[in-house]
Amino acid sequence: MPPLQPGQNGRVLLTGARGFTGRYVRAELEGAGYQVIDAVAAAGPHAITVNAANPPVPADGAALSEIALDITSLEHCRAVMQTVRPDYLIHLAAIAFVGHADAEAFYRVNVIGTLNLLQAMADTGVTPKRVVLASSANVYGNAAAGILAETQPPAPINHYAMSKLAMEYLVKPWCERFSIVVTRPFNYTGVGQAPQFLVPKIVSHFIDRAPVIELGNLDVERDFSDVRMVARVYRDLLQADCAGQTVNICSGTPYSLRAIIAMMEVIAGYAIEVRVNPAFVRQNEVRTLVGSTALLHALVGNSGAVPLEETLRWMTQ
């Protein structure tokens, strides 16, 4: 079977393309024959910066690979949509660090930014075959123990989660106009994730053979996936029969920080001293987040799930 040619499956506008997840999603899409146009918050060396009043329109879009986009500006979103006219939109751009200090920014970027993209598509007559919007499993909050299906009532407990749930509610009316799927990714990790996140922090301590690590609540349980699997899910959702759905992206397996430490001790070949730092224990900590994979697997199969130990070994190479 001949290899897929770039762009033969259509043009994808990918927001958050420079982020941890975006880099892997881009690689997956290009490998599957899509032309990917990175929407970046600031103009890169190869980015086109559009003029909202008179946006350039490439003759066939073939040379366009990166474009500057300010999702907090509706006018700018309109100009970008008029320029790119994507066949698909994957919207990953967000403020995603729960501990981010500016509460207002969560809503300005995560909610208003998403609505601006949808309004801009409507205003410019752009109708993508699929719009994939990234929410978060944090919308479930401190849910009761057990596996969380998409029918679990939301109970967000921080501004990040509240902004994502607000986004979910506010895009519902747009589902009548566009083929939208909302994803709720649970925790995931991999090479390149920022060090303020827990798993990269733990891995880096072992790589450096640090004698001590300070953590928060060691009994917090999370459903960890590999970022490469998450990227495959985003790719597969472009073609899946999932319009109007909200779907978890998860492994279905919970891991405590104690368990991750134990895995890393085996991988690294030494035991580390773990100290609980009260400053790292959040009062509104979500204790357990474990997702149901039933809907995900029904839509896209298992998308190449990766055991967490394999992910950790990859991150230590």
Active site residue 160: yes
CA distance 164 to 233: 19
Give per-residue burial for 228-242: e unless 16+ CB within 10 Å, then b.
Answer: bbbbbbbbbbbebeb
Q: Collect contacts of 116-121 with beta carbons under 8 A, ≥24 apart.
A: 116/71, 116/72, 116/73, 116/74, 116/77, 117/15, 117/71, 117/77, 117/81, 117/89, 117/91, 118/171, 118/174, 118/178, 119/74, 119/77, 120/74, 120/77, 120/78, 120/80, 120/81, 121/81, 121/89, 121/178
Q: Which sign, positive or negative, has the C-alpha torsion 9, 13, 18, 24? A: negative
* Tokens at 74, concatenated: 């509706």
**Which position among 34, 88, 140, 160 bears the catalytic label?**
160
CA distance 2 to 190: 31
Please choose, from the candidates 243, 232, 254, the residue with its C-alpha nearest in 3D space to the C-alpha of residue 300. Answer: 232
Q: Which sign, positive or negative, has the C-alpha torsion 218, 222, 225, 231? A: negative
Maximal C-alpha separation, the chain: 61
CA distance 159 to 99: 9
What amino acid positions are annotated as catalytic residues? 160
